[in-house]
Amino acid sequence: MRWPNDVQIKEVGPRDGLQNEKEWISTDDKVKWINMLSASGIKEIEYSAFVHPKWVPALKDAREVGKRIIRNPNVTYSALVPNEKGLEHALEAGIDMASVFMSASETHNRKNINKSIAETYPVLKKVIEGAKQEKKRVTGYISTVFDCPFEGRVKIDDVLSVCDRLFEYGVDDLSLGDTIGTAVPSQVEMLLEEILYRFPNKNIIMHFHDTRGMAIANIVTSMRYGVRRFDSSIGGLGGCPYAPGAAGNVATNDLLYLLNGLGINTTIDESKIREAAFFIQRKLNKHLPSRSLEYEASQLKKSRRYLQENQRNVRQTPRKREIIYVFLKNQYDKIRSKV
């Protein structure tokens, strides 16, 4: 098989990554961090969520963040929008793209957005129409496309009926979420067989959480089926507040290592992503789970230690010379005094 020439990554760390964090990240730091991401060559950033601040307090400053970030014209900025109120706030703060969201399983949908699937459709239809009137692109997230934390395995037909409905309402793209990070490649194959039979691959995004360490395997499987768009989060930060125990998204750092190794173009500067990961790691005061990041941090530590030792040697050399000089001079003076 041939790998794709290029793959598009949407960085969801500022939204999916932060939404579950207990540690409050100040608006200033969020803005600084998103600006770092904007300068990394990444083409899409989901910068926050216009949901109810009581349910996701970590993102209660979405409007301020949206107004203060420096917009890079090469980047598409999106945010989660659950309803018309969210859309009103998002348009005021500035979005290029609205991300509506719902689940393929009834219980997760209710826990997440407080509505049944049937009650959600008219709400999202209005948001999609409103966003389209403002000439914004719309992505439809579908959660629990493989497994639901409350109902177990989700039927592919249930996923397809949500896909049909959201495309019918006018979303441009669909992002299919392994919300709890339990899928294995055979599940991905079965779903993509059906999805890509119905919808063009250019409009399909895969959104893998990495709870069981399967995300990279699932991305490789998706690429084999022709999918070229993935969501990921810096350092693997994140999790869904309504999916107990679920880990963060696949780490952008791990995904970039894979894509660069395969010779697939992403336009992203890996070193800038690494700096952005170190920045948020420091602010959260915890280690992010990305294996690539951990490895890179250990390499940097090693080279810093080497550099420090070298500097010590450099500092020591003149001192050693001085001691040898004094010693030789003493010897010389002694010999002379005897002569």
Active site residues: 240
Which CB, 33 or 242, lies closer to ligand HMG?
242
Of 75, 202, 73, 210, nearest in space to 139 by CA? 202
Of 227, 214, 145, nearest in space to 181 by CA? 214
Which CB, 143 or 281, lies closer to ligand HMG?
143
Measured distance CA(197)–CA(50) in Å, rounded: 33
Measured distance CA(205)–CA(189) in Å, rounded: 14
Measured distance CA(272)–CA(14) in Å, rounded: 16
10, 11, 16, 46: which one contacts Mg ion (CB under 5 A)? 16
Residue 325 token pair: 């000089």
71 φψ region: left (φ > 0), alpha (ψ -120 to 50), beta (else): beta
112's contact among ligand HMG, Mg ion, none, with CB below 5 to 8 A by partner kind, is ligand HMG
Position 149 contacts ligand HMG (CB under 6 A): no
Segment 237-276, which members bind ligand HMG (CB under 6 A)? 240-242
Minimum Å gap between C-beta 120 and ligand HMG is 9
Which CB, 52 or 137, lies closer to ligand HMG?
52
Position 57 contacts ligand HMG (CB under 6 A): no
Position 177 contacts ligand HMG (CB under 6 A): yes
Position 125 contacts ligand HMG (CB under 6 A): no
40's contact among ligand HMG, Mg ion, none, with CB below 5 to 8 A by partner kind, is none
Stretch that binds ligand HMG, among 26-34, 68-76, 236-244, 302-310 (CB under 6 A): 236-244
Position 230 contacts ligand HMG (CB under 6 A): no
Which CB, 19 or 252, lies closer to ligand HMG?
19
- Hey, CA dihedral for 287, 289, 294, 296, is it positive or negative? negative
Position 178 contacts Mg ion (CB under 5 A): no
86's contact among ligand HMG, Mg ion, none, with CB below 5 to 8 A by partner kind, is ligand HMG
Position 49 contacts ligand HMG (CB under 6 A): yes
Position 50 contacts ligand HMG (CB under 6 A): yes
Q: H helices of the chain, where?
A: 27-38, 62-68, 84-93, 106-113, 117-133, 156-169, 185-198, 215-224, 252-261, 270-284, 291-338
252's contact among ligand HMG, Mg ion, none, with CB below 5 to 8 A by partner kind, is none
Judge whether 7 and 259 are in contact, CB under 8 Å: yes
Stretch that binds ligand HMG, among 33-41, 81-89, 186-194, 299-307 (CB under 6 A): 81-89
Query: Which residues have a Cβ under 8 Å from the Cβ of 233 and sit 6 or more positions away?
Result: 11, 12, 13, 16, 17, 248, 249, 250, 251, 252
101's contact among Mg ion, ligand HMG, none, with CB below 5 to 8 A by partner kind, is ligand HMG
Q: Which residue type sits at 33? A: W
Measured distance CA(244)–CA(109) in Å, rounded: 14
Which CB, 16 or 210, lies closer to Mg ion?
16
8, 105, 120, 179: which one contacts ligand HMG (CB under 6 A)? 179
Measured distance CA(274)–CA(105) in Å, rounded: 36
SS3 content of the chain, % helix, strand, coil (to 5): 55, 15, 30
Residue nearest to ligand HMG (CB): 177
Contacts with ligand HMG by CB under 6 A lie at 16, 19, 49-52, 55-56, 80, 82-83, 85-86, 101, 112-114, 141, 143, 177, 179, 207, 209, 240-242
Contacts with Mg ion by CB under 5 A lie at 16
